[in-house]
């Protein structure tokens, strides 16, 4: 099995979510939880962006001693100096530098030629490497960059001292087949490919972030970058909990191990949800309220006979207490009977049909039938029986 590193950027890219503004205390709490969850690298922030961002990156770098902590910098020396000031003297401090490489970014944003981009990469990665042993380089918008030029930028960064190369799908533009082909191309054209760590950072603009990240793993990436709950710029990032769980459930296919403690996934997701004031959608994979809930009668019947019929992992494996069977208009008699028996009622087989008819009359007029509704239903049926 190959080892996959998890690089969490909840505190940097995640905070770029509209409306999210973590306090320094929030960031420290989340960072400690991320360490407990098992991430390998925490991107603590963008130190040059603001005084508070600098303070939080520095404090995390000082307090988190059992995990690598990195700060982001453009290929601009003042940005790099800010990371040096924040993390240069910390136990596990690292730096992540980037510059855009795609034609649209070179021409419309940077107003730079290819040669100017190459020169800037060489100068800035070399400068960062003077202070940091470990330097990560990202060619921003890599998936819209000419592949031959992308190779030039990467090799320039490696020769200048970068030991981690991140391939960002900055706009969520690519797809699983294409990113796999890109990684194959990089392996074939970069002799130093196996001498450094190749990472991938996927955005979710077209809903493909998790799939693209997993494809990159299949084709040579050994580090995944993303956020808890998939928060981040625009439509967000790869949801790290989805990748971690997929690698566990389909270990037969991916043949990859991680340091993630899956049973701490839900508490990690819940903390980030609370501190970002972003509710986890009910249908969110792994951590959503409906992820281990079954309402359809066919599903409920199969689940009650054998949980594995409709659950490919246990809720406990990701830190969720238990599955649930909410009762509604699609529920079957098996689930209703089991629920009533759990509530202490003795259900005679001869009365099951009448009970279910009564249940259906209630369920047709409301979304969920609660325990109180069931008690009232059983009291009413008992009252009718007594009158007879």
Q: Rounded distance, CA 93 to CA 116, Å?
A: 29
What integer pLDDT is reported at residue 385 of this predicted model? 61
> In the chain, which stretches have pLDDT less than 50?
none
- 54 and 121 inside one domain: yes
- 64 and 208 inside one domain: yes
Residue 290 counted as domain residue: no
Whether this model's pTM surpasses 0.85: yes
- 269 and 302 inside one domain: no
What integer pLDDT is reported at residue 257 of this predicted model? 97
Residue 7 counted as domain residue: yes
DSSP letter assigned to residue 281: P
What integer pLDDT is reported at residue 386 of this predicted model? 62
pLDDT in tens, 174-212: 999 999 999 999 999 999 999 999 999 999 999 999 999
Residue 287 counted as domain residue: no
Q: How many residues does the chain have?
A: 388
Q: Which of 109, 178, 163 is nearest to 133 (CA)?
A: 163
What integer pLDDT is reported at residue 1 of this predicted model? 87
> H or E segment at 194?
none
- 159 and 229 inside one domain: yes
- 305 and 357 inside one domain: yes
Q: Rounded distance, CA 199 to CA 214, Å?
A: 11
3-state DSSP assignment of residue 378: helix
Q: Which of 257, 259, 319, 309 is nearest to 286 (CA)?
A: 319
C-alpha distances out from residue 85 to 11, 112, 150, Å: 19, 28, 30
Domain that holds residue 264: 2-276
- 76 and 222 inside one domain: yes
Q: Rounded distance, CA 60 to CA 344, Å?
A: 52
Domain endpoint, select from 227, 242, 276: 276
Our count of domains for the chain comes to 2
Residue 292 counted as domain residue: no
Q: Rounded distance, CA 112 to CA 99, Å?
A: 11
What integer pLDDT is reported at residue 382 of this predicted model? 83
Q: Rounded distance, CA 321 to CA 338, Å?
A: 19
- 34 and 166 inside one domain: yes
- 372 and 223 inside one domain: no
- 333 and 201 inside one domain: no
Residue 160 counted as domain residue: yes
Residue 229 counted as domain residue: yes
What integer pLDDT is reported at residue 98 of this predicted model? 98
- 330 and 199 inside one domain: no
Domain endpoint, select from 226, 241, 276: 276
Q: What CATH number corresponds to the domain at position 56?
A: 3.20.20.70
Note whether 87 and 46 are within 8 A (CB): no
């Amino acid at each position: 099995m190959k080892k996959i590193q998890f690089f969490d950027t909840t505190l940097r890219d995640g905070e770029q979510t509209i409306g999210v503004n973590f306090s320094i205390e929030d960031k420290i709490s989340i960072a400690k939880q991320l360490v407990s969850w098992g991430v390998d690298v925490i991107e603590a922030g963008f130190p040059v962006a603001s005084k508070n961002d600098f303070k939080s990156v520095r404090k995390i770098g000082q307090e988190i001693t059992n995990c690598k902590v990195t700060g982001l910098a453009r290929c601009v020396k003042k940005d790099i100096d800010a990371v040096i000031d924040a993390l240069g003297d910390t136990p596990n401090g690292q730096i992540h530098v980037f510059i855009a490489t795609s034609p649209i970014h070179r021409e419309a944003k940077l107003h730079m030629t290819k040669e100017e981009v190459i020169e800037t990469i060489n100068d800035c990665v070399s400068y960062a490497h003077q202070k940091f042993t470990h330097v990560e380089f990202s060619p921003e918008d890599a998936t819209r960059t000419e592949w031959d030029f992308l190779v030039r930028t990467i090799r320039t960064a490696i020769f200048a001292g970068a030991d981690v190369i991140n391939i960002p799908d900055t706009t969520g533009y690519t797809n699983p087949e294409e990113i796999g082909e890109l990684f194959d191309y990089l392996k074939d054209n970069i002799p130093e490919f196996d001498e450094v760590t190749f990472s991938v950072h996927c955005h979710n603009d077209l809903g493909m972030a998790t799939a693209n990240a997993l494809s990159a793993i299949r084709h040579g990436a050994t580090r995944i970058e993303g956020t808890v709950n998939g928060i981040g710029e625009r439509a967000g990032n790869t949801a790290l909990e989805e990748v971690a769980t997929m690698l566990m459930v389909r270990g037969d296919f991916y043949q990859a191990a991680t340091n993630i403690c899956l049973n701490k996934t839900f508490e990690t997701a819940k903390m980030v949800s609370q501190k970002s004031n972003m509710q986890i959608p009910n249908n969110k994979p792994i951590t959503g309220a409906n992820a281990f809930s079954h309402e359809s009668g066919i599903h409920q019947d199969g689940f009650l006979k054998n949980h594995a019929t409709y659950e490919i992992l246990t809720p406990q494996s990701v830190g969720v207490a238990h599955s649930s069977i909410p009762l509604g208009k699609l529920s079957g008699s098996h689930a209703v009977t089991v629920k009533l028996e759990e509530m202490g009622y003795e259900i005679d087989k001869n009365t099951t049909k009448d009970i279910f008819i009564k249940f259906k009359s209630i369920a047709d007029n409301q979304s969920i039938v609660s325990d109180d509704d069931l008690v009232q239903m059983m009291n009413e049926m008992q009252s009718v029986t007594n009158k007879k």
